[in-house]
Structure 1
Amino acid sequence: MTARGITLVILLSLPSASLVADELSHNDALRLTQQGIIKPVTELVQIATRKYPGSHVLELELERKKSLYIYEMEVIMSTGQVREIKLNAVTGQIIKDELDD
């Protein structure tokens, strides 16, 4: 295999930048909220849990995919089922809402 072929194999084996999300810290979330870039997490939790009365957030992560900030939440419903809900952290729009496996 030539050097060019090896380089191509390495590049093809790397994950696509568009598919990889950067996980952000709580300090990043606070800074982005204070700068008015994203909505306060309390507001986004209310949006997610309002859809399922009696539900509670189990897990919460802020991610950045390209220039989009996304809050990913795992919410346990009163039935015991867990849902994965993704919200646009800037607009509050629900992007994904499905039962978690």
Structure 2
Amino acid sequence: MKKLIALSCVALLGMGSTAAFADDDVGREEAAKLVEQGTIQSIESLEEKALSIKPGTITDRDLEREDGRYEYKLDIDADDGTKWEVKLNAATGEVIKTEQDD
């Protein structure tokens, strides 16, 4: 009986971790295909949009599929020395979130 309970717990934990990692980073090749297909905007135009919101230097970028849409997340060291995360809808360029990092 204890083995059955332990196996059930392992199975439930495994299912939970699968759900937690269901949203994935998109690789460069896939991103290029998405741009070519017109599914997302070009990375250059998305970066230009982010820098128009928070001028500075992009220090990190990730394209992810999250909540059924493609999101482009950028970390920016702003010209005034502050650090920001800007998240854009990669298909529309719409700003999802702008948040100052600590």
Normalising TM by the smaller chain, what interval?
A: 0.7 to 0.9
Report how far residue 66 of structure 1 moved.
Answer: 4.4
- Greater than 6 Å deviation, 4+ residue runs: none
1:42 corresponding residue in structure 2: 44
TM-score under structure 2 length normalisation: 0.82
| Length, aligned pairs only | 99
Query: Over aligned residues, Cα RMSD in angstroms?
Result: 1.9
Q: Which runs of 5+ in 2 are unaligned?
A: none
TM-score under structure 1 length normalisation: 0.83
Pair 1:81 & 2:82 matched: yes
Q: Which runs of 5+ in 1 are unaligned?
A: none
Q: What SS is found at the alignment partner of 2:41?
A: coil
2:49 is aligned with what amino acid? I
Matches within 5 A, 1:1-101: 1=2, 3=4, 5-10=5-10, 11-12=12-13, 14-15=16-17, 17=19, 20-53=22-55, 55-101=56-102
Q: What SS is found at the alignment partner of 1:69?
A: strand
Report how far residue 26 of structure 1 moved.
Answer: 0.8
Report how far residue 81 of structure 1 moved.
Answer: 1.2
